[in-house]
Structure 1
Amino acid sequence: MRIEQLTYALGAELTGVNLADAVHDEGLFAEIRAALLKHRVLFVRDQEISRTEHVAFARRFGDLEDHPVAGSDPEHPGLVRIYRTPEQPNDRYENAWHSDATWRVAPQFGAVLRCIECPPVGGDTMWANMVLAYEKLPPRVKDEIAGLLARHSIEATFGSVMPIERRHALREQYPDAEHPVVRTHPETGEKILYVNVFTTHFTNYHTPERVRYGQDANPGASELLRYLISQAYIPEYQVRWRWKPNSVAIWDNSATQHYAVMDYPPCLRKMERAGIVGSKPF
């Protein structure tokens, strides 16, 4: 297996490897896992693997989980089908910077995404290194956000287009989660800026030290949150991947955010993702 780094910030392409082999090859899997922790997102071309092999490889990292809104393959639990068709031209919830499922108490550790069918041009995906985003923050901002907590909501995102009864039922099943604004990577110990499109507000901002007048709380807190979320938009923190059928991306969901670029006309785009269960951020 060869590893080619793609940008300074993150991302590497693996060549000379079949991911199905890593299901049973302990040494190969260990190499891939180490590369993932180092480069944060890995890309592999020409992976003509079955759904069973896809799921088996992803399970090497941990248990898999389904998504309460996106449809899963009925024969392969944990394999979420992200299908776009000409009849869904306005289904656009992926084209925002996010980490998957931060609305869960224990968000995903990572994911293995495989392209089944894609447009001939367009439909790339971008990733941003949120460890680097935290490192590059001004010291005064790091001081201001130390110890801050924030809410993450599925109701305010996926639920927003649902009828009110269904939206409330979704909230009952998945209440808003509260996470540190700066989390610690569970394996490397790195500090990570951990707010994204699922983040609605800070929960412990309104203290006497921060709030002198009402304007310090609102819009002060919302302006700070908007600034922090915007750090993922910085090109120097990003890598961009052009999909082809049988291409695979493997990413560390705790240390990155991603954005599906929907710059293609109505057409078929079929992706299948195995999401790996993570742990509660700290």
Structure 2
Amino acid sequence: MSPTSTPSGHAPAVVRSHSLGSIKAEPLTRTIGAQLLGVNLADAARDDDLFAEIKQLLLKHKVLFLRDQDITRAEHVAFASRFGTLEDHPVAGSDPDHPGLVRIYKDLDSKPEHYENALHCDATWRESPPMGAVLRCVEGPEVGGDTIWVNMAEAYRHLPEHIKTQIEGLRARHSIEATFGAVMPMEQRHALKATFPDAEHPVVRTHPETGEKILFVNVFATHFVNYHTPERVRFGPDYSPGASHLLNYLISQAAVPEYQVRWRWQPNSVAIWDNRSTQHYAVQDYWPAVRKMERAGISGDMPF
């Protein structure tokens, strides 16, 4: 067999870069992620046509990457604001001069923290989770500190049909108290939950712009709220272990490498992602090296 042929005799498919208007996009995997070439986000913040191209590429690839974006915080915020209103994070807070810009700084004065090194979709404990985010590397380690993104539309497409039938119509509870609040004293944790009550979302959401079905459970999901029905539960053991096993199985789908892309950061690198259709994982393999990131989170809508 020729090394350039497949068993069927056809030449193997090749992932090629393509251009949508003036921007060249090079796919990084066959399922998610593309690097944009020849574009500056400060220009895109002011240019309607350029921004429209980027938005269409984001819907297609779900996460976009750029190098050499030597932009100011004001330009960072201006670009992200083109997608929608920016939001603060209740735990991390925002830059006082640039509302909506969160400084995620891990330096030698920071103790190792592990709340980021889990696959998650940002802030699904909100009734309306973020639409997406624009993350820029200010300073990074020589090696390590990569971020992984996952295509959760692809994860849903590859579920067995009997699982798709089983989860149709299911809803799950998502909690900040059980995650960020877990390290807090009880009174502070309860106050956090009072400010941000648990949210309830469909297990399978529909993307409001592409119409794709998306598997929408992650580490913030604590349990199903409407699992205990005669169709699903015969006796008590079907309820708690049965529901927990199913939820854990669904959450584990984000760990499939075929649905993922991994990005190595450099100073002035940027990632733009669609939070509605992806999860991500910040790999914490660099401490005590320094890693300083700045993120603008974009408000979203209520999943359906």
TM-score normalised over the length of structure 2: 0.92
Matched, 1:198 2:220: yes
Matched, 1:102 2:124: yes
Listed as ranges, the gaps of 5+ residues in structure 2 are 1-22
Matched, 1:165 2:187: yes
Task: Give the partner amino acid of 1:57.
Answer: F
Match of 1:88 in 2: 110
Which deviations, in whole Å up to 9, do the C-alpha atoms of 1:198-228 show, x marking residues without a partner? 0000000000110011111111100000000
Task: Give the partner amino acid of 2:102.
Answer: V
Match of 1:149 in 2: 171
Listed as ranges, the gaps of 5+ residues in structure 1 are none
Matched, 1:208 2:234: no
Which deviations, in whole Å up to 9, do the C-alpha atoms of 1:221-269 show, x marking residues without a partner? 0000000000000000000000000000000000000000111131211
Give the total of aligned pairs.
Answer: 282
Give the deviation of 1:172 after TM superposition.
Answer: 0.2
Match of 2:82 in 1: 60
- Alignment partner of 1:83: what SS? strand
Give the deviation of 1:87 after TM superposition.
Answer: 3.0
Give the deviation of 1:101 after TM superposition.
Answer: 0.6
TM-score normalised over the length of structure 1: 0.99
- Alignment partner of 1:61: what SS? coil
Distance 2:213 2:130 in 1: 17
Match of 1:188 in 2: 210
Give the deviation of 1:86 after TM superposition.
Answer: 2.2
Distance 2:122 2:287 in 1: 25
Q: Aligned match of 1:43 in 49, 65, 73?
A: 65
Distance 1:156 1:10 in 2: 30
CA RMSD, 1 decimal: 0.7
Give the deviation of 1:72 after TM superposition.
Answer: 1.4
For residues 185-264 of structure 1, the aligned pairs below 5 Å read 185-264=207-286
Give the deviation of 1:92 after TM superposition.
Answer: 1.1
Distance 1:19 1:256 in 2: 22
- Alignment partner of 2:31: what SS? coil
Distance 1:75 1:218 in 2: 48
Identity level (%) = 71
Distance 1:42 1:187 in 2: 17
Find runs of 4+ consecutive structure 1 residues off by over 2 angstroms: 86-90
Distance 1:118 1:222 in 2: 38
Which deviations, in whole Å up to 9, do the C-alpha atoms of 1:70-107 show, x marking residues without a partner? 13111000001111122333211010000101000000
Distance 1:260 1:196 in 2: 15
- Alignment partner of 2:74: what SS? helix
Q: Is the 8 A contact 2:174 2:222 kept in 1?
A: yes
